[in-house]
Structure 1
Amino acid sequence: MNIWNKAFATTALAIVMAGPALAQEATAPSSDISGTISVWTWPNNDRTLAALMPTFNEAYPNITVNVQGFPTANDAYLNNLQRAMLSNSGPDVAMIEIGMMALLRDRPHWADLREAPFNASEMMDEFAPFTVQNVTLDDGKIVALPKHTGPGGMFYRRDIFEEVGLPTDPTEVSALFSDWDAFITEGQKLVIPNERWVIGNGEEIVRAMMAQEGVSLFDAEGNLQFDHPVFRASLEKVKEAADAGMISPFAAWTPEWQGAFQRGQLATVLYGNWFGGLLKRAYATDQSGQWAVATAPGVSGNRSFNSGGDYIGILESSENKEAAWAFIQWLVTNDESLKQQFQNDDLYPAYSPAGEAEWLNFEDPYYGGQNVNEIFAPVQAELVPFTLNPLDNVAMTAMRTAIDNVARGVSTVDEAIEAAKAEVQARM
C-alpha cells in the first residue's frame, strides 16, 4: 500500500475476519450476477481478501473469487502483473500500490471504469479527493477504485514520555511537538545513549516534511525535486536528530528494527495509521495502553501527510467484468467489508462515508482509550496530494541512501543531495 514503505510491512499481520454484511452506501450491482473471477494482490492483502469471501458471498452468492498473492507490491507482484499485461493473460482484478500507480495507470490494459457496466463517475465524489486524482487520467479515464489511504501521525509511548517528564495526553503532546524544531528539542529528552532512540530512521522526518510542504519526488512536469529547499531542510533536520542521538542504528523493516519496538527502544514512530496494526499484532503485542497518537510535527503550520494507499482495478482482458465490478465496488464501499478490514488490519478507508462509522470512531483500548480517528480524520481531509511519477521508486531508493548517509555521518547534506541527483539522473 505505500509509496514509502507500506508494501514491506504487510507480511507481518495475520488476519481473522467474520461478521454479517451490512447495507452499503453506494448503489450495488445486482446480486444475481454470477461467474468466477481471479484477483491478484500481495501479502497480506491476499489473506485479507480471502477472509472476506464468506461475507461477500452473502451479498453475491453466485460469484466465486480466487485470490492469489505475490510477494511485495513493488517486486514479484509488480513484475508478474506487468508480464501478464503484455501477454493479455492477467487476472480479472488487480491491486495497485500507490508507489506503483504512476508506473501502471497509463497502461491501456485497464478497463475504463467510467463506462458501462461500471459507471464509476457517479460515485467518485464519495472518495477522498486525492485518491480520485491518482486514478483519473488526463482524458478522464478511471483506471481503478481507491481502496485505502494512510493518513499519518506520530505514534508515541506514553510510559516513556511520562518517565522523562513529558506530557502524555495526545492533545498536550500535539501542542508541544508542534514543529520539527520542537521535535528535536523535546525529543532529545527521550534518548538513552546507545539504548533508546526517538525514531527508527531519518526517512520518517524527510517523508513527513516533504509531504507537508506539498513537495513530491518529481514535480508535475517530471523534474526531480532534490534541489527543493524542503528536501535540504529535511536532511538538515535528519543531521540534527542524528547528532542528538535520536535516530536508531537499525535499518527499517529489518528484524532488529521490528524487535526494537517490543524492547521499548523506540519512543515514537511517524507513519500512516496502518502502522497501528503492526504495533497491535506484530511489533508491540503486549504494550496495550502504552501507545498513543499525536498530530505529527509540522512545516509552516501544516501537520498533515499521507503514508500509504492502494487501489483496485479491472483488466480489459477480463471475460467477466460484471462480476469483477461487483467485487471491487463491494470491497471498497460496503460497510461490513471496510469494517472488517479496519478491525483486523487497521486499513483506513478511502471511501468518505465510512469516516462517520462507529467502528472507525471509538475509544481504542490499545491506545489507552484514545479515539485515534480524531487525529487521522483531519489529516485525511487536509493533506496535500502527492504528484506521482513512474520513476518514484528510483528516486525513493536514491533518497533513502542520501538520508542514511547523512544520518550516519558518511556524507554532508550537500554531498548527499548531489549523489542522489546523480543516481536518479543516470536512470532517467
Structure 2
Amino acid sequence: MKPVQMRALTGLALALAMAGASQAATTLTVASFPSFDEAVKAAIPLYKKAHPDVEIKLVSLAFGDHHNAMTTALAAGVNLPDVMAVEVGFIGKFAASGGLEDLSKAPYSAMQYKAKFAKFTVPQATGGAGNLAAIPADIGPGALFYRKDLLDKAGVTEAQLTQSWESYIASGKKLKSATGAYLLSNAVDLKDIYIRSGLKDGEGIYFDKQHRVLVDSPRFVKAFELAKAARTAGIDAKVNAWTNEWSEGLRRGQVASQMMGAWLAGHLSSWLAPSTKGLWRSAQLPNKAFASWGGSFYSIPVKAEHKKEAWDFIKFMALDKGMQLEAFRSLDAFPSLIEAQNDPFLDKPIAFLGNQPARKLWKVAADRIPAVAVDKFDPVANEIVNAELEKVLEQNKDIKQALTDAKTQIARRIRR
C-alpha cells in the first residue's frame, strides 16, 4: 500500500474514532437563571477537566421565565433538563409536584452530606412529605446595605440605624429631612424581614407544623405596623425591587439603604450601581434580626435523561470547596458549604464596600439563621399577604382586619 493511501486510511480511522467519541459523549442539560448561571459558566471548563466525556449545555432564562418554564415542564413531564436550578421560594411548590427526585434516597443518599451545609439550607430543600428535593449551592444571609455618605451627611450613625426597628424608621426621617433621600425602596421590605426573624428551628413562616395558618399572629401584626409606619413617615420610595426605578434610585443616591441577601453586594458592584463604589457599607439587620433572603439550589427531575451525570455535576457545584469558592469570588454568591465559609477569603476587604471585610459579618448571620420549615403553599400565602398589605398601605385598611382576611383567603385557596 502506498504511503498516501496509508495516510488516508489513518486519517479516516482517526475521523471515525473521533466521531465515535463524540457520539459517546453525554450532553448534560442544565437549566438556570441569571446570575446563578454564571456559576455554571465558571464551572464548565473546570468540570470538563475531570469529565472530558461530558458536555454541559446551559439553558438560561430570566428568573421569572425560568421558574414558569420549569413549572410547566414539571406538570407536563416534558422538556425537562437534567439539572434544574431552583430559587428557594419555589422549592416547596416543585417538591409537592412529585416531579423532582428525592435526593435523600439511593442512589443519591444525600442526607449523609447534611452537616456539610449551613444548618438552615437542608430544611429549606425538604418538601412537606419529607423528601429532599434539592441541594443548596449558595445562600442569602440577610444584610442591610447603606450609603455611608448619605448617613454621614444626615448625622446618622450605623448604630442608630440598626439599634431597633423603631430607630431605623427614626433614622429614615432624619435622613429624608437632611438629604431628601428615601431610607428604603419599599415599606414591604420591612414586612418581609420581620416575618422571617425571631423564628426557631423547625418553625414555618406562614404555617405551623399542623398546617395551621399563622398570618394573624402578633409577628405579622408587628410586621404590618412597621411597614405602615415607614409609609406614613414618607421614608420609602414606593418602588419594587428589580425595576428600573429601583436600580436608578440605588444608582443616583435616592435610596439610602436596602435590606436583602448578602449577594446584593455583587449585583451593586457589577451592574446595578458600579459608579457608587466605596460609598456603600454592610451591616447586620436592625434589631439584631437574622434571616435568610434567597438562596439557590439544584434539583434533578424525575424524568431527567442523565441522572447519574446530573448528580455528579451537582456534587461538584455544591460539595467541592474549590468550586464553591470560585462562585464566591466571581459572584459574591455566599457558599452553602461550611468548609468554604471558613476559608481565609472571607477576611479579605471588599473594595466596593469601602474595603470593609463584610463577608465576616455575613458569616455571623449565616450561623444565626434559623432552620425554617417550608410549605408548598408558602408562595400562595405570600401573594395574599402582600395583596392585603397593599390595601393597608394604600387604602388605610385596618391591619388586624387585613390579616384576618388574608387568613381566610389562604385557608380557602389551600382547600381547593
Report if TM-score (shorter chain) is over 0.5: yes
Match of 2:262 in 1: 273
How many residues matched? Answer: 387
Instruction: Give yes or no for contact 1:211–1:384 (8 Å, CA) kept in 2.
Output: no
Deviates more, 1:117-126 or 1:232-241: 117-126
For the residue of structure 2 that corresponds to 1:312, the secondary structure is strand
Query: Match for residue 327 of structure 1?
Result: 313
Q: Is the 8 A contact 2:91 2:127 kept in 1?
A: no
Aligned to 1:17: none
**CA contact 1:174–1:296 (8 Å) conserved in 2:** no
Sort the Cα spacing of 1:413 and 1:369 in 2 relative to 1 into closer, same or farther, 3 A.
same
Distance in structure 1 (CA, Å) of the matches to 2:159 and 2:371: 23
Q: CA deviation at 1:139?
A: 7.0
Question: Alpha-carbon deviations, 1:93-124, whole Å to 9, x = none?
Answer: 11222111111124443333344443323322
AA in 2 matched with 1:270: M
Please say if residues 182 and 236 of structure 2, whose CA atoms lie closer than 8 Å, have aligned partners that are also in contact: yes
Deviation at 1:348, TM superposition (A): 1.1
Q: What corresponds to 1:77 in structure 2?
A: 67
> What is the CA distance between 1:81 and its match in structure 2?
4.2
Which of 56, 62, 68 is matched with 2:53 structurally?
62
What is the distance in 1 between the residues matched to 2:89 and 2:376? 9
* SS of residue paired to 1:123: helix
Amino acid paired to 1:321: K
Please say if 1:104 is aligned against 2:94.
Answer: yes
Deviation (angstroms), 1:186: 2.5
- Which amino acid in the other structure matches residue 334 of structure 1? D
Of 408-417 and 54-63, more deviation after overlay is shown by 408-417
- Counterparts of 2:294 and 2:351 in 1: how far apart (Å)? 24
How many Å apart are 1:409 and its aligned residue? 4.9
SS of alignment partner, residue 274 of structure 2 = coil
Q: Distance in 1 between matches of 2:349 and 2:239?
A: 32
Distance 2:195 2:107 in 1: 40
* Contact map agreement 1:113 1:120 (CA 8 A) in 2: yes
2:185 to 187, 194, 200: 200
Partner of 1:16: none
Q: Distance in 1 between matches of 2:100 and 2:240?
A: 36
Please state if 1:39 is matched with 2:27.
no
Asked if the contact 1:36/1:323 (under 8 Å) is kept, the reply is no
Q: Is 1:293 equivalent to 2:282 in the alignment?
A: yes
Which residue does the alignment assign to 1:249? Answer: 238
The verdict on how the C-alpha distance between 1:425 and 1:85 changes in structure 2, with shifts beyond 3 A counting, is closer
Instruction: Flag structure 1 segments of 5+ consecutive residues without an equivalent.
Output: 1-32, 168-172
**Contact 2:67/2:86 (CA < 8 Å) preserved in 1?**
no
Q: CA deviation at 1:381?
A: 0.9
Name the CA shift for 1:199/1:184 in 2 (closer, same or farther; >3 Å).
same
Deviation at 1:163, TM superposition (A): 0.4
Q: Deviations over 1:253-311 (max 9, x none)?
A: 2211211011101111111101112211222211111100111112xxx5211101121
Q: For structure 2, which runs of at least 5 residues remain unmatched after alignment?
A: 1-23
Residue 67 of structure 1: SS of its match in structure 2? Answer: strand
Query: Does 1:417 pair with 2:412?
Result: no
Shift in alpha-carbon separation, 1:242–1:190, aligned structure 2, 3 A? same
- How many Å separate the matches in 2 of 1:202 and 1:139? 35
Question: How far apart are 1:175 and its partner, in Å?
Answer: 6.6
CA distance in 2, matches of 1:353, 1:166: 37
**Cα drift, residue 407 of structure 1:** 3.1
**Which AA in structure 2 matches 1:343?**
R
Alignment correspondent of 1:381: 367
User: Quick check: 1:109–1:315 contact (8 Å CA) kept in 2?
Assistant: yes
Q: Is the 8 A contact 2:321 2:337 kept in 1?
A: no
> Secondary structure in 2 aligned to 1:349?
coil
Larger Rg: 2
Specify which of 116, 139, 153 is matched with residue 143 of structure 2: 153
Q: Which residue does the alignment assign to 1:187? A: 172
Q: Which residue of 2 aligns with 1:348?
A: 334
The question of 1:209 aligning with 2:194 is answered: yes
How far apart, in 1, do the equivalents of 2:196 and 2:273 lie? 27
Letter of the 2:184 partner, please give it: I
Aligned to 1:225: 214
Instruction: Identify the range of structure 1 (317-326 vs 404-413) with the bigger mean alpha-carbon deviation.
Output: 404-413
Task: Give the TM-score of the pair, scaled to structure 2.
Answer: 0.85
The structural deviation recorded for 1:221 is 2.1
Does residue 165 in structure 1 map to residue 168 in structure 2?
no
Q: Distance in 2 between matches of 1:91 and 1:126?
A: 26
d(CA) in 2 for partners of 1:408 and 1:321? 49
Show CA shifts across 1:158-190 (max 9, x none): 1011101123xxxxx247522112212223211
Answer whether contact 1:177 1:186 (CA < 8 A) is retained: no
Given that residues 123 and 372 in structure 2 are in contact (C-alpha distance below 8 angstroms), is that contact kept between their aligned partners in structure 1? no
Q: 1:143 to 1:419 in 2, by over 3 A?
A: closer
Partners of 1:234 and 1:61 in 2: how far apart? 52
Opposite residue 30 of structure 2, the aligned amino acid is V
CA contact (8 A) 1:39 1:92 kept: yes
The whole-number CA distance in structure 2 between the counterparts of 1:227 and 1:142 is 30
Give deviations 1:299-358, integer Å, cap 9, x for gaps.
xxx521110112112223334322212111111122332223222322111111111123
Distance change in 2, residues 1:243/1:88 (3 Å): closer
Structure 2 contact 123–373 (Cα < 8 Å) conserved: no
**One-letter identity of the residue aligned with 1:198:** L
Report the Cα distance in structure 2 between the residues aligned to 1:248 and 1:175, rounded to whole angstroms: 21
In structure 2, how many angstroms separate the alpha carbons of the residues matched to 1:418 and 1:141? 32
Name the stretch that deviates more: 230-239 or 58-67. Answer: 58-67
Q: Distance in 1 between matches of 2:161 and 2:249?
A: 25
* Identical amino acids, percent of aligned pairs: 25
Aligned to 1:126: 116
8 Å contact from structure 2 (residues 300, 311) kept in 1: yes
